[in-house]
Amino acid sequence: MLTGRPSDICVAVVGGDDRWTNGLVKKLAESLGATVVAMHSAEELETKINGHLPCHVLVIGSDVDPRHRWLQSLRSRFDERKLPIIVVAQGEADDDDEYEVEATRSGANAYYDRGLHPDDGLLEKLVYGLAYE
């Protein structure tokens, strides 16, 4: 039976905090059996995109794009179904509800607060759900 689901999930994680980025890459690869690409800046992903979709789901740490300019640029090129984007709050400054609203307005499919969910289990579910949507 044919489905619209990808046979392999590819996830790109862009975060400025190397420890978090590398830890999330390892968790997603193990729990989802996904191909996970780690990047440590918005510029690094920009060079890898070069006109095509980099993955099935993109996870962006708020420390990489605090004003959502890069998120808006991505959203202008790729719609929400072709490239689902999850913004992850990286610190206490992101606990502000306005930040979540702005991330959503700027084009994020989902917002994840590490302060509320430090074990990343919900993030794994979000990635899985968006990849197979």
Of residues 4 and 75, more confidently modeled: 75
Does the residue 32 lie in any domain?
Answer: yes
User: Do 86 and 111 touch, CB atoms closer than 8 A?
Assistant: yes
| Domain count of the fold of the chain | 1
Does the residue 108 lie in any domain?
Answer: yes
User: Do 25 and 42 touch, CB atoms closer than 8 A?
Assistant: no
Does the residue 78 lie in any domain?
Answer: yes
Does the residue 16 lie in any domain?
Answer: yes
Does the residue 3 lie in any domain?
Answer: no
Q: Is the pLDDT of residue 40 over 90?
A: no
In 3D space, the residue among 95, 59, 51 whose CA is nearest the CA of residue 77 turns out to be 51
Q: Is the pLDDT of residue 125 over 50?
A: yes
| Percent of the chain that is helix, strand, coil (3-state, to 5) | 40, 20, 40
Residue range 94-122, pLDDT digits in tens: 556 888 899 999 999 999 988 787 777 88
33 Rama sector, left if φ>0, alpha if ψ -120 to 50, beta otherwise: left
- What does pTM read for this prediction? 0.86
Most confident of 34-43, 61-70, 87-96: 61-70
Of residues 33 and 49, more confidently modeled: 33
Mean pLDDT of the residues in the chain: 83
Residue 107: the pLDDT is 94
Q: What is the rounded average pLDDT of the residues 77-84?
A: 89
Does the residue 2 lie in any domain?
Answer: no
What CATH number is attached to the domain comprising 37? Answer: 3.40.50.2300
**Domain range enclosing 125:** 10-131
Q: Is the pLDDT of residue 3 over 60?
A: no
Does the residue 5 lie in any domain?
Answer: no
* Pick from 26-35, 37-46, 100-109: least confident: 37-46
